[in-house]
A and B are shown apart, each in its own frame.
Chain A
Amino acid sequence: MTKEISLEHVWVEFGEFTAVHKANLNIAGGEFFSFLGPSGCGKTTLLRCISGFQEPTRGKVKIGGQDMRGVGPNKRPTALIFQNLALFPLRSVADNIAFPLEVRGVDKKTRRKRADELLELIALPGQGDKKVSELSGGQKQRVAIARALAVEPDILLLDEPLSALDLKLRQHMRTELRAIQKQVGLTFIYITHDQGEALTMSDRIAVMNKGKIEQIGDGKAIYDHPTTSFVASFVGENNVLDGTVLSNDGKVMKIDAGLGTPFTVENHPAGGPALAPGDACHLFVRPEALRLSKDDGAINQFETNFITEEFEGNMRHIVMNASGTDLKLSLINDGTNAIDANTPVKLDFAPEMGIALKPGELASA
């Protein structure tokens, strides 16, 4: 069974410090939902509100429509996978997995049977008698998941579960986690500061900054149509130009960014705050949206000078300078994109690839 979760105006304050600022959202049953944000933005605190280790200062956490205030962590239909996994070092792998059953008074034989089934599920069959310390990082990870699944929770909460693993294993575990979620059909709430993880696994993502949820949406919406400067600069690479709105007819915007002819921009979020003529704005153009101009007089064209290039094999990451502003440019290495380092180069971008947003806080690189 799966249950939906709703956070209603949840605030968490530690003395003067506000760790979670009016979080408001609904998570559907069976969804893979991620909280994405830089370290210290309040993700763990929010997760602890859901699991019951932290009572919100104000607001409500509802699970399956039921207010959870006063319900202890051991009474909630959630299971949490801790950032450090928190496997019991003195117990064998099987005893770790069977712990939730043990505290519920399930007899030894049934426990062992269930542990073996779960070991099967996480692809560690027959390893139940090992010590936890004898497992590799990825195996511990999977044991922690199996132990949480033994609770038979309605909601599985994961707090940066892959952060301790090396890159290869991390990428492998992403697919595996997603597969396990599909297989067991539970609601997963996943916390990460790694946008790659959030984008590849999640049905929906909430981007957080300093305790505030900035935007909720699926990966594509977050990446292609960010609604705040923070989201635009935190998720993926982005170039940002300071500009002034010249005109806005609700669909097409003209923006002067001090680079010659004003830019024509068609990508600005419908739900976002409207920009009126004369307003200052941030204009975002992703490195892969910038391209070398094929012909003179193309729309949104401007002149730049070559600074440096980083060669990555399939991609070339180039830094260009446009009247004092450094711009990143990613080009496919298909032999058609030669750049002469000594002459000015003309770049342009499609109007629908320019994102105009109200000036706001940018994520630090």
Chain B
Amino acid sequence: MRMKSPTALIPGLYLTLFFAYLFGPLIIMVITAFNSSTFPRVSPWECFTTDWFGKLASDDKLLSGLGNSLLIGVGVVCVAIPIGLAAAITLSQVGPKLRAALYTIFIAPILVPGVVIGLSTLIFWDRIGTLFNAPYESFFYDGTFLTIFGQVTFIAAYSMLVFLSRIQRFDTTLTEAALDMGATPTQAFVKVLLPFMAPAIGSATVLAFLASLENYNTTVFTIVSSSTFTTVLSSKVRYGLDPSISAVAVIIIAITLIGAIIYECRNRYYTKGWAHVIAERPALKIATHPGTVAVILGVLTLAAVLFIQNHDSSVCTAQVLEEKRALQQQLMEQQSINTPQQAVPAPTMPNLGPLGGDEGGASAPSPFGNNIFSPENLGTSAREGN
């Protein structure tokens, strides 16, 4: 047997690193969602818990933000898709010179930084509102409305790109044929062009919705006093993070995975080769049907939800809490014996981790294992600095 040459291992190594880089953070995030530690982390592992999902479900701020995000997403899709489609149709029908100019104009919002779009949307509608002497409750100052308009400016351009690549393959004589057969222009559009564009409309809708949902830098300006999923998340990151964020990630990852699995099953199910395989195997035909797969995944999801609702980890968490208390007790006793002068700052600055701010009571452990931010170390470093 011959040894594999070292160069042959490089692609494998590269792939491993690539996937580790890609999926590593996701996997760690998923794990942290089930650790009872109040800061999202994998080690030290405290208890397996599903409480963070419960915490998430009762987080009104996040839920109302999510509601706003979904509403804005739907609004953006409803406005951006028709605009993008109209732009693509226009581009496909004008002469080459005008097309180049129009294309640049249509595409410009993608090149403008989102922050600029957000700010300018805010200022623009504020000016218009002032012009009409509109009251502050009017839609000119409404976060949802402004965010939809701000996001549409560039998401419409995204969807136009999707439509453009499809419409370039459209045979315009088909529209002429429809007209010649007696169809009105509207009928020709609905019965010939739209069915042709349907796949692109589907993917543009998904793209637009996701782009809207995850947008932050435009939204943070246009949302004004309201909030969306992303703005709530970002304020959470700023003012104290707990694993319910990881729970959100788990849910998003699960939805994405389920969607991707069903989509992939559907693609494979309708290939010629597979149609051949299942032609004489009715059981296999039913088993691999994307509908069946969807039902199975649905049942699994339901089971997971039930499990999350009913899992009780209070015994374990109580025990961990007890251990910590004991440890702390012991530490304090040691401190008062060994270095009484260093224990002085401790009462004025109780265990305040920088990220565990609002709920970091006495029992909240510091997020970092080596305790660099613990009061003792702070004290010493401050003294050393002096």
Interface mask (B316-355 → A, CB under 8 Å = 1, otherwise 0): 0000000000000000000000000000000000000000
Known: A84-B171, A90-B196. A53 touches B176 (CB 8 A): yes
Q: Which residues of A contact B181 (CB under 8 A)?
A: 74, 79, 99-100, 103, 147-148, 150-151
A15 to chain B, nearest CB (A): 12
Contacts of A93-114 to chain B: CB distance below 8 A = 99-100, 102-104
Interface mask (B168-182 → A, CB under 8 Å = 1, otherwise 0): 000101101111111
Check B357 for interface membership: any CB of A closer than 8 A. Answer: no
- Cα distance A88–B180 when bound, in Å? 13
Contacts of B160-209 to chain A: CB distance below 8 A = 171, 173-174, 176-184, 187, 191-192, 195-196
Q: Which residues of B contact A147 (CB under 8 A)?
A: 181
Which residue from B171, B182, B184 sits with its C-beta under 8 Å from A100? B182
Q: Which residues of B contact A148 (CB under 8 A)?
A: 181
What bracket does the count of chain A residues touching chain B fall in?
20 to 34
Q: Which residues of A contact B195 (CB under 8 A)?
A: 90
A82–B182 touching, CB < 8 Å? no
Q: Which residues of A contact B180 (CB under 8 A)?
A: 51-53, 73-74, 78-80, 151
Q: Which residues of B contact A82 (CB under 8 A)?
A: 173, 176-177
Q: Which residues of A contact B191 (CB under 8 A)?
A: 99, 102-103
A73–B171 touching, CB < 8 Å? no
Known: A80-B177, A82-B177, A88-B192. A104 touches B171 (CB 8 A): no
B14 to chain A, nearest CB (A): 41
A103–B176 touching, CB < 8 Å? no
B196–A103 touching, CB < 8 Å? no
- Cα distance A104–B182 when bound, in Å? 7
A74–B179 touching, CB < 8 Å? yes
A-B contact number at CB 8 A: 58
B297 to chain A, nearest CB (A): 30
A103–B171 touching, CB < 8 Å? no
Residue of B nearest to A144 (CB): B177
Q: Which residues of B contact A53 (CB under 8 A)?
A: 176, 179-180
B270 to chain A, nearest CB (A): 14
B179–A73 touching, CB < 8 Å? yes
B196–A73 touching, CB < 8 Å? no
- Cα distance A267–B118 when bound, in Å? 84
B176–A88 touching, CB < 8 Å? no
Q: Which residues of B contact A52 (CB under 8 A)?
A: 180
Known: A73-B179, A78-B180, A90-B196. A103 touches B187 (CB 8 A): yes
- Cα distance A104–B181 when bound, in Å? 9
Residue of B nearest to A78 (CB): B180
Check A360 for interface membership: any CB of B closer than 8 A. Answer: no
Number of B residues, CB within 8 Å of A: 17
Q: Which residues of A contact B196 (CB under 8 A)?
A: 90
B173–A86 touching, CB < 8 Å? yes
Residue of A nearest to B174 (CB): A86
Q: Is the interface of B mostly helix, strand, loop or mixed?
A: helix
B183–A86 touching, CB < 8 Å? no
Residue of B nearest to A157 (CB): B180
A86–B179 touching, CB < 8 Å? no
- Cα distance A12–B63 when bound, in Å? 65
Check A72 for interface membership: any CB of B closer than 8 A. Answer: yes
A325 to chain B, nearest CB (A): 46
Q: Which residues of B contact A99 (CB under 8 A)?
A: 178, 181, 183, 191
Residue of A nearest to B196 (CB): A90
Which residue from B174, B182, B184, B187 sits with its C-beta under 8 Å from A151? B182
Which residue from A74, A84, A90 sits with its C-beta under 8 Å from B182? A74
Q: Which residues of B contact A72 (CB under 8 A)?
A: 179
- Cα distance A72–B179 when bound, in Å? 8
A184 to chain B, nearest CB (A): 17
Residue of A nearest to B183 (CB): A103
- Cα distance A84–B173 when bound, in Å? 8
- Cα distance A74–B185 when bound, in Å? 9
B173 to chain A, nearest CB (A): 4
Which residue from A51, A73, A88, A100 sits with its C-beta under 8 Å from B174? A88
B359 to chain A, nearest CB (A): 58
Q: Which residues of B contact A73 (CB under 8 A)?
A: 176, 179-180
A86–B182 touching, CB < 8 Å? no
- Cα distance A100–B177 when bound, in Å? 10
- Cα distance A99–B183 when bound, in Å? 9
Q: Which residues of A contact B173 (CB under 8 A)?
A: 82, 84, 86
* Most A Cβ at <10 Å: residue of B173, B182, B191, B195: B182
B183 to chain A, nearest CB (A): 4
Q: Which residues of A contact B184 (CB under 8 A)?
A: 74, 103
B187–A86 touching, CB < 8 Å? no
* Most B Cβ at <10 Å: residue of A74, A100, A104, A150: A74
- Cα distance A53–B180 when bound, in Å? 9
Residue of A nearest to B190 (CB): A103
* Most B Cβ at <10 Å: residue of A52, A53, A79, A99: A99
Q: Which residues of A contact B192 (CB under 8 A)?
A: 88
- Cα distance A103–B178 when bound, in Å? 9
Q: Which residues of B contact A88 (CB under 8 A)?
A: 174, 177-178, 192
- Cα distance A175–B179 when bound, in Å? 29
- Cα distance A54–B184 when bound, in Å? 17
- Cα distance A73–B173 when bound, in Å? 13
A321 to chain B, nearest CB (A): 48
B169 to chain A, nearest CB (A): 11
- Cα distance A99–B187 when bound, in Å? 11
- Cα distance A100–B178 when bound, in Å? 8
- Cα distance A63–B171 when bound, in Å? 29
Residue of B nearest to A99 (CB): B181
Excluding A73-B180, A86-B171, A103-B191, 18 further A-B contacts by CB distance (< 8 Å) are A51-B180, A53-B176, A53-B180, A73-B179, A74-B180, A74-B181, A74-B182, A78-B180, A79-B180, A82-B173, A82-B176, A84-B171, A86-B174, A86-B177, A88-B177, A99-B181, A103-B184, A104-B182
16 A-B pairs within 8 Å (CB atoms) are namely A72-B179, A73-B179, A73-B180, A74-B181, A74-B184, A80-B176, A80-B177, A84-B173, A86-B171, A86-B176, A86-B177, A88-B192, A90-B196, A100-B181, A147-B181, A148-B181
Q: Interface residues, chain B, CB within 8 Å of chain A?
A: 171, 173-174, 176-184, 187, 191-192, 195-196
Instruction: Give me the 5 closest cross-chain CB pairs, A-B, nearest first.
Output: A86-B177, A103-B183, A100-B181, A86-B173, A80-B180
Q: Interface residues, chain A, CB within 8 Å of chain B?
A: 51-53, 72-74, 78-80, 82, 84, 86, 88, 90, 99-100, 102-104, 147-148, 150-151
